[in-house]
Amino acid sequence: MKVNNRREAVLKAVLGGMNDVATLCEHFGMSEATVRRDLRALASTRRIVRTYGGAAAVGAHEPEATLEERRVSAREQKDAIARAAFARIADGDTIFLDGGTTTAALARLLPAKAVHVVTNNLIVVSALAATEVPVTLIGGDVRASSMSTLGPLAQVVLSRISVDKAFLGADGVVAGNGLCEASAEQAYLKECAIRQAAEVFVLVTADKVGHASQQHWTPLERPWHLLTDDAATAEQLAPFLARAEVSVQTVPVADPKGQAAGVAAEAGK
């Protein structure tokens, strides 16, 4: 097949949702080097954007929601996911809470536990400052659009701390690719937190499951837990359930107590 024809075929596959290098290699019977070369060529003409481990349509890079939009959106789902995460925390744990409004919902539950919180989330600090929960703010440069701290100082501080559990948010999560974010600094700080945590939990609403909305990626290459609400479809969850390193828990939003919290579908156990 001529190079131009092959790249048109690769472009069509990516636009159709075939986003990772391994799948493209298998589909076209090509080497990884050839696929990556074709993706670089397509990205250079802005027909696609490169992602961690693959590519996505240019339109997949969506405008980032404002903080106020995130505060009011899917509040019941976020509260239900927060209750499910709370059930995973034991007295005496040191936990990391990532930036975002779902982790902030979890923070509001924490005065009922004897925990130590490490965070870059200024909303979490505000929620816990008047309580007896010990809080360590990791510092760094303030990102006003998410009210979180990022950058080299935050990365250095995280490298000096270990936590029992890290609770991470994301703009999207894709099986095999990881977490996507609007900025490289956000993505890398999550990677730092993952390295320092004994257990990793990703807290996202169903609309973010399988959704590559941004082009900066945090790989998830170790066992981790996905907690989402029960609006996630079987098609969305199937790629995660197929991976041995992922356990998946869907949370019924209608349950006012979020008990244990919901229907657990687990893989890799």
Convert the pLDDT of each residue in 92-132 to its tens digit: 999 999 999 999 999 999 999 999 999 999 999 999 999 99
pLDDT in tens, 149-177: 999 999 999 999 999 999 999 999 989 88
> What whole-number distance in Å separates Cα of residue 252 and Cα of residue 232?
10
pLDDT < 70 stretches in the chain: 1, 15-17, 46, 51-52, 56-73, 255-269
- For the packed helices 184-195 and 152-159, what is the interaxial angle rounded to 10 degrees? 10
CB 147, CB 136: distance < 8 Å: no
Q: Is 206 helix (H, G, I), strand (E, B) or coil?
A: helix
Whether the model clears a pTM of 0.85, i.e. scores above it, the answer is: no
The reported pLDDT for the residue numbered 145 is 76
The tokens for 225 are: 């837990």
Torsion, Cα 206 49 101 145, to 10 degrees, reads: -160
> What whole-number distance in Å separates Cα of residue 240 and Cα of residue 235?
10
The reported pLDDT for the residue numbered 206 is 94
CB 82, CB 113: distance < 8 Å: no
CB 249, CB 226: distance < 8 Å: yes
Question: If residue 101 lies in a helix (H) or strand (E), which one and from where to where?
Answer: helix 101-107
The reported pLDDT for the residue numbered 95 is 98
Tell me, rounded to whole angstroms, the distance of Cα 216 from its chain centroid.
11
Question: If residue 152 lies in a helix (H) or strand (E), which one and from where to where?
Answer: helix 152-159
> What whole-number distance in Å separates Cα of residue 167 and Cα of residue 229?
16
Domains in the chain and their CATH numbers? 3-60 (1.10.10.10), 67-266 (3.40.50.1360)
The reported pLDDT for the residue numbered 196 is 97
The reported pLDDT for the residue numbered 263 is 41
